[in-house]
Copies of this chain bind each other. A is one copy, B any other.
Amino acid sequence: MDADDKIECVLERSVQRCESPSAPPLLGKAIRHAVFPGGARVRPKLCFAVAAACGDGRGLDAAAGAGAALELMHCASLVHDDLPAFDGAAIRRGQPSVHSAYGEPLAVLAGDALIVMAFETLLNECATSPEVLSPLMTILIEAVGAPRGIVAGQAWESEETIDLSAYHQAKTGALFIAASMAGAASAGLDPAPWRALGERLGEAYQVADDLRDVLLSEEELGKPAGQDASLLRPNAVQSFGVAGAMARLKSLVADASDAVPECAGAPMLRQIVQAQAVRLMPKSLLSKVA
Closest 5 CB pairs of A and B: A18-B146, A27-B155, A113-B146, A85-B104, A23-B147
Write out the residue numbers on chain B whose beta carbons fall within 8 Å of the beta carbon of A157: 105
What is the chain B residue whose CB lies nearest that of A102?
A: B158
Interface centre among A76, A130, A146 (most CB of B within 10 A): A146
CA distance A27 to B114 in the complex (A): 21
Write out the residue numbers on chain B whose beta carbons fall within 8 Å of the beta carbon of A145: 17-18, 113, 116-117, 120
Q: Are B166 and A22 in contact (CB under 8 A)?
A: yes
Chain A, 117-152, CB within 8 A of any chain B CB = 117, 119-120, 123, 130, 133-134, 137-138, 141, 144-149, 151-152
Tell me if A26 counts as interface (CB < 8 A to partner B): yes
CA distance A43 to B123 in the complex (A): 24
The count of identical subunits is 2
Tell me if A115 counts as interface (CB < 8 A to partner B): yes
Tell me if A242 counts as interface (CB < 8 A to partner B): no
Annotate A17-52 by CB proximity to B: 1 below 8 A, 0 otherwise. Answer: 110101111111001000000000000000000000
Q: Are A116 and B133 in contact (CB under 8 A)?
A: no
Given A105-B158, A155-B26, A156-B24, residue A147 in contact with residue B18 (CB < 8 A): yes
Tell me if A198 counts as interface (CB < 8 A to partner B): no
Q: Are B85 and A154 in contact (CB under 8 A)?
A: no
Distance in Å from the Cβ of A61 to the closest Cβ of chain B? 15
Q: Are A146 and B31 in contact (CB under 8 A)?
A: yes
Given A105-B86, A146-B18, A157-B105, residue A112 in contact with residue B111 (CB < 8 A): yes
Name 13 extra pairs, CB < 8 A, besides A113-B145, A120-B141. A17-B147, A24-B152, A24-B158, A27-B151, A27-B152, A103-B158, A106-B158, A109-B154, A112-B151, A116-B149, A117-B145, A119-B137, A123-B138
Given A113-B151, A141-B116, residue A27 in contact with residue B146 (CB < 8 A): yes
Tell me if A60 counts as interface (CB < 8 A to partner B): no
Write out the residue numbers on chain B whose beta carbons fall within 8 Å of the beta carbon of A262: none
Write out the residue numbers on chain B whose beta carbons fall within 8 Å of the beta carbon of A26: 155, 158-159
Write out the residue numbers on chain B whose beta carbons fall within 8 Å of the beta carbon of A23: 146-148, 152
What is the chain B residue whose CB lies nearest that of A169?
A: B22
What is the chain B residue whose CB lies nearest that of A123?
A: B137
Write out the residue numbers on chain B whose beta carbons fall within 8 Å of the beta carbon of A119: 119, 137, 141
CA distance A31 to B117 in the complex (A): 22
CA distance A103 to B138 in the complex (A): 30
